[in-house]
Amino acid sequence: MADTSKNVLVMAGAGLSTHSGIPDFRSPGTGLYDNLQQYNLPYPEAIFDLGFFVRDPRPFLSLAKELYPGKKYRPNLGHYLARLINEKGKLLRMYTQNIDGLERLAGLPPEKLVEAHGGFSSASCISCFKEHDPDETREAIFRGEVIRCTNGKCKGLVKPDIVFFGEALPDRFFLYQDDVLWADLLIVIGTSLEVYPFAAIADEVPRDVPRLLLNRDVVGSFGMRKHDTIVTCDIIEGVTRLAKELGWHEELMELYAKHEPCM
């Protein structure tokens, strides 16, 4: 598949990042929403609620401090597989639901990446939308500060450009409307395909385009098309198996060891 494909579309969700130690949001008992008691939230999803953020930005900023890329969590083999596909000139685009920035840390070029739910690489005021320096925002969050807008008398709250409930997805997300027409292979890794409009990308790919699912469970419409391939497995096991079948395993391990020597 991927060895002959020239325009590979990759979709990834929280199941990819859990192998870097980041909890997903919804798994009972272990998910992020079940482990937010320390923030004294009225309900778990409030940590990504814009109205609640205005009333009390501290819980989200505390969580942001924990999740900032490179502080505690590092990319895994799945992230480096996406980079390797790109280095071989075959990656059309990678769409990720994850806000952790691990794709960027793994070296995926920004033009090849769509962070559907935003991320930490930019920051802006939630009132006037003035862009703020992401590095300065990061340092302020690490100091435990609430950041205010520098635009004249605005003084609105500033946060990393992570999409909160009720906020529009980034304009860049809608690149998928053209990308699905160019794709000759779709690889879906570690997502439930339950959150829309992200999940819709998998169905917008033309029916004659092969789709490969690497996931613990069968999700979405996988299995309903003639050219679907489903591998239910541990994500890293599936990524490793795919790399071996492509004859890329040695290259993948060398790439990973070069950039993650302490892992």
| Greater model confidence, 244 or 2 | 244
| 101 torsion bin: left (phi>0), alpha (psi -120 to 50), beta (else) | left
CB count within 10 Å of CB 87 equals: 14
The secondary structure of the chain in percent helix, strand, coil, rounded to multiples of 5, reads 40, 20, 40
In this structure, of 9-23, 36-50, 91-105, the range with the lowest mean pLDDT score is 36-50
pTM for this prediction: 0.91
Question: Fold for domain 32-71+122-162?
Answer: SIR2/SIRT2 'Small Domain' (3.30.1600)
Domains 8-22+76-117+169-259 and 32-71+122-162 share a fold: no
In the predicted model, what is the mean pLDDT of residues 219-240? Answer: 95
Query: What's the confidence (pLDDT) of residue 21?
Result: 86
44 has a pLDDT exceeding 90: no
CB count within 10 Å of CB 55 equals: 9
Q: What superfamily would CATH give domain 8-22+76-117+169-259?
A: TPP-binding domain (3.40.50.1220)
Give the catalytic positions in this structure. Answer: 117
- Name the pLDDT band for 72 (thresholds 50, 70, 90): confident
- Name the pLDDT band for 259 (thresholds 50, 70, 90): confident
| Greater model confidence, 38 or 42 | 42
- Name the pLDDT band for 47 (thresholds 50, 70, 90): confident
**Six-digit token string for 248:** 């890329």
Label the pairing between strands 131-132 and 211-215: unpaired
223 backbone dihedrals φ, ψ, rounded to 5°: 100, -10
In this structure, of 54-63, 154-163, 174-183, 199-208, the range with the lowest mean pLDDT score is 54-63
- State which amino acid sits at residue 15: G
In this structure, of 8-12, 33-37, 87-91, 233-237, the range with the lowest mean pLDDT score is 33-37
**Domain segments of the chain: what residues?**
8-22+76-117+169-259, 32-71+122-162
Query: What's the confidence (pLDDT) of residue 42?
Result: 83
Average pLDDT, the chain: 90
Which residues are 215's β-sheet partners? 232
- Name the pLDDT band for 54 (thresholds 50, 70, 90): very high
CA 28/CA 24 separation, integer angstroms = 10
Query: What's the confidence (pLDDT) of residue 27?
Result: 55
**Six-digit token string for 10:** 């990759």
The residue written with tokens 């953020």 in the block is 53
Maximal CA-CA distance, the chain: 59
The residue written with tokens 């909890």 in the block is 23
71 has a pLDDT exceeding 70: yes
Burial (Cβ within 10 Å: 0-12, 13-18, ≥19) of residue 239? buried
Query: What's the confidence (pLDDT) of residue 248?
Result: 96
Query: What's the confidence (pLDDT) of residue 125?
Result: 95
Query: What's the confidence (pLDDT) of residue 111?
Result: 97
55 backbone dihedrals φ, ψ, rounded to 5°: -75, -40
In the predicted model, what is the mean pLDDT of residues 226-249? Answer: 95
pLDDT tens string 183-207: 999 999 999 999 999 999 999 999 9
Alpha helices in 183-219 (DSSP H): 201-204
Alpha carbon distance, N-terminus to C-terminus of the chain: 29
In this structure, of 2-6, 86-90, 158-162, the range with the lowest mean pLDDT score is 2-6
